[in-house]
Amino acid sequence: MNETNNNNQIMQVERLAFSYGWLKQKPVFTDFSLSLERGKVYGLLGLNGAGKSTLIYLMAGLLTPKAGTVTMCGTDVRLRRPSTLSDVYVVPEEFEMPRMSLRKFATLNGALYPRFSYDDMLHNLAIFDIDPEIKSLPALSMGQKKKVLMSFAFATHTSLMLMDEPTNGLDIPGKSQFRRLVASQMTDDRTILISTHQVRDIDRCIDHVVIVDNSRVLLDASVASITAKLRFVENGTAADAGEALFSQPSVMGYSLVLPNTGDEETELNLETLFNATLADRDRITGIFNPKNA
CA distances from 171 to 108, 121, 125, 198, 287 (A): 29, 21, 16, 12, 37
- The strand pair at 191-195 and 41-45 is best described as parallel
pLDDT tens profile 209-243: 999 998 899 999 999 999 999 999 988 888 878 88
Sign of the Cα pseudo-torsion (205, 227, 59, 52, in order):
positive
Q: Which domains does the chain have, with CATH numbers?
A: 6-214 (3.40.50.300), 224-292 (no CATH)
Sign of the Cα pseudo-torsion (169, 197, 56, 184, in order):
negative
pLDDT tens profile 237-264: 888 788 899 998 888 888 999 999 887 8
Question: What CA–CA distance (Å, rounded) separates 28 from 58?
Answer: 12
Which residue type does 115 have? R
Q: Which of 115-124, 151-160, 216-225, 277-286 is the least confident region?
A: 277-286
Given pLDDT bands bounded at 50, 70 and 90, which one contains residue 293? Answer: very low
pLDDT tens profile 69-89: 999 999 999 999 999 999 999
pLDDT at 111 over 90: yes
> What backbone phi and psi angles, to 5 degrees, belong to 153?
-55, -45
pLDDT at 2 over 60: no
pLDDT tens profile 23-55: 556 789 999 999 999 999 999 999 988 899 999
Q: What is the pLDDT of residue 71?
A: 97
What is the value of pTM for the model shown? Answer: 0.92
Q: Say how many C-beta atoms besides its own lie within 10 A of residue 106's C-beta.
A: 21
